[in-house]
Amino acid sequence: MLDDFLIRATLAGVGVALAAAPLGCFVVWRRMAYFGDATAHAAILGVALSLALSTSVFAGALAVALIMALTVSTLSGRGYAMDTLLGVLAHSALAFGLVAVSFLHGVRVDLNAYLFGDILAVSTTDLAVIWAGAALVGVLTIWRWSALLTATLNPDLAYASGIDPKREQLVLTLGLAIVVAVAIKVVGALLIVALLIIPAASARPLSRTPEAMALIAALIGGLSALAGLRASFLWDTPTGPTIVCVAAVIFLLTNLSARFLRV
Amino acid sequence: MSLITLTNIGVRLGGHQALSHVDFSIDEGEIVTVVGPNGSGKTTLLRTIIGAQKTSSGRIERARGLRVGYVPQSLSIDSTLPLTVRRFLSLPLRHSGAAMEAALIQAGVEGLLNRQMSALSGGQFQRVLLARALLKKPDLLILDEPTTGLDQPGSASLYRQIEQVRATLGTAILMVSHELHVVMSASDRVICLNGHVCCHGTPEIVASAPEYRALFGTGTQGALALYRHDHDHHHHSHADHSHEHGACDHA
């Protein structure tokens, strides 16, 4: 069954979408979208390094994404203007990554595959890595759910409940780095954050509790992956961007319908 | 016995000494209020007590199994986060519906469980925060300017609610407040803070301390005197009394 590239692609897309959506809710609630960008863009540098060192692309992307995420989360709350700092870090990481890739002589690197993803080229090994990563992030999110949510509401409220908000921030950072590393093959570094944020933002008008929002976001993410693959197959469009387009249309529909129903 | 005792606490915040040589303790069922100008370290003191702030010196002793309920100064819930009152009250630990209703009633509101947090009025919101703190069955309730954003009747009614909580549950209460006249009337003890403990004691002792007067000036003295004139002037000596009459006329 896994011999069919379309089935592998479907499983890869759905896996990433399911892991990204609940984590994406936290990214939205904590206003960390730019943080996700910085992590994702740094992953390109990781890809370049791992190609140069001939190690696994996943490991390289994960390592550099993690370093970037830790750097940003250490610098946050130390009096820097965060949006500026993140803008600097995100785009310089991407630029350094692109320049680093150009130094790789002898290796034919299809940069597009890492910027926009190449879901149709997902191998069985990739699939295993994606689902292992997705499962890890899923378990991490469910396990820390209440603590993460309390820390998201208010750090002092968390302390008073015996929860260390810094530790929860670290959990989130780790989850984000894993999602970025596994998703780079599916939607690419430039569109990973879309898979985090758009399903969550689409789920918001339909939800009354955080749990409902996470579940609906996961459903919308999975649905976008399925419909996006189908649409890209029908119309011969690039798959990663098509998945994001479907998610964006769903976002528009849920938010507009919520607005009309309210009026 | 003391629920919590701080001995010679110092706290540094970004290279600036926010608190130094602070001794503090609170007993069961006591209401203690911290007053002090902006930047005097009031919130830092509360954050130290709940364990959110590292100390640079000193010692903190908590009674065994001490349960602390905390009501933060402000809580802004991001508009992207859907949150019912029911869910909020169950963070991080789940509680039964009956327990949540009971806590809301103790906090002076009812029937809000299925409302969105974002749809609450200022007064309801503060009471839901109070209810969440009460759900832990705290021995010590800590409130950081609980009446921020409430109008005069709203804050007076919230203070009455807090006194009621102490009266019915016997919970010790530690709070920061700016509303000096209310604070002075409701507290067993007042601590006047300005990076260090300027003075402390019963409201009467603190109000007449020169350190306190230096910090708060005559305006608040007027308000305070007005209050005392209304309610407990018979407790004071004649000399004190006449002085306060003067201040009262000012106000």
| The pair of three-digit structure tokens given for residue B119, joined into one six-digit string | 């749809």
User: Where do the domains of chain B lie, and which CATH numbers do they carry?
Assistant: 2-67+138-250 (3.40.50.300)
Query: A30 contacts in B (CB within 8 Å)?
Result: 78
Q: How confident is the model at residue A262 (pLDDT cuts 50, 70, 90)?
A: low
> Measured between CB atoms, does A255 come within 8 Å of chain B?
no
Q: What angle do CA A191, A177, A19 make, to 5 degrees?
A: 70
The 10s digit of each residue's pLDDT in A78-92 is 666 777 888 888 889
Q: Is residue A25 pLDDT above 80, yes or no?
A: yes
Over residues B177-199, the mean pLDDT reads 83
Best to test chain A binding among B44, B73, B91 (most A CBs inside 10 Å):
B91
Q: In Å, how far is B91's CA from the nearest CA of chain A?
A: 6
Contact state of A157 with B81 under an 8 Å Cβ cutoff? no
Query: B47 contacts in A (CB within 8 Å)?
Result: 156, 159
| The pair of three-digit structure tokens given for residue A149, joined into one six-digit string | 């949510």
Helix (H) or strand (E) holding B223, with range, is helix B210-231
Give the Cβ contact number of residue A262 at 10 Å: 7
Give me the sign of the Cα torsion angle B137, B141, B144, B149: positive
Which residues are within 8 A (CB) of B223 and not within 5 positions of it... i.e. 6 or more apart?
A: B180, B181, B251
The 10s digit of each residue's pLDDT in A59-73 is 899 999 899 888 887
> Measured between CB atoms, does B51 come within 8 Å of chain A?
yes
> Measured between CB atoms, does B82 come within 8 Å of chain A?
yes
Closest-CA residue of chain B to A165: B52
What's the CA gap between B95 and B50, in Å, rounded? 22
What's the CA gap between A34 and B176, in Å, rounded? 36
Closest-CA residue of chain A to B77: A153
User: Where do the domains of chain A lie, and which CATH numbers do they carry?
Assistant: 5-262 (1.10.3470.10)
Q: In Å, how far is B129's CA from the nearest CA of chain A?
A: 10
Strands B68-71 vs B140-144: parallel, antiparallel or unpaired: parallel
Q: Is residue A143 pLDDT above 90, yes or no?
A: yes
Q: In Å, how far is A259's CA from the nearest CA of chain B?
A: 15
pLDDT of residue B46: 93
Which residues are within 8 A (CB) of A12 and not within 5 positions of it... i.e. 6 or more apart?
A: A119, A122, A126, A127, A130, A185, A186
Q: How long a stretch of residues is chain B?
A: 251
Over residues B243-247, the mean pLDDT reads 30
Q: In Å, how far is B189's CA from the nearest CA of chain A?
A: 23
Query: B93 contacts in A (CB within 8 Å)?
Result: 146, 161
> Measured between CB atoms, does A33 come within 8 Å of chain B?
no
> Measured between CB atoms, does B80 come within 8 Å of chain A?
yes
Q: What is the DSSP letter of B247?
A: H
What's the CA gap between A49 and A61, in Å, rounded? 9
The 10s digit of each residue's pLDDT in B115-174 is 999 999 888 998 999 999 999 889 999 999 888 878 888 888 888 888 888 888 889 999
What's the CA gap between B120 and B126, in Å, rounded? 9
Contact state of B78 with A30 under an 8 Å Cβ cutoff? yes
Q: How confident is the model at residue A232 (pLDDT cuts 50, 70, 90)?
A: very high
pLDDT of residue A141: 93
What's the CA gap between B53 and A160, in Å, rounded? 11
What's the CA gap between B180 and B246, in Å, rounded? 19
CA distances from B79 to A31, A123, B61, B113, B116 (A): 11, 41, 39, 19, 11
| Among candidates B47, B75, B84 on the partner chain, residue whose Cβ is nearest the Cβ of A153 | B75
Q: How confident is the model at residue B248 (pLDDT cuts 50, 70, 90)?
A: very low
CB B145 within 8 A of CB B181: no
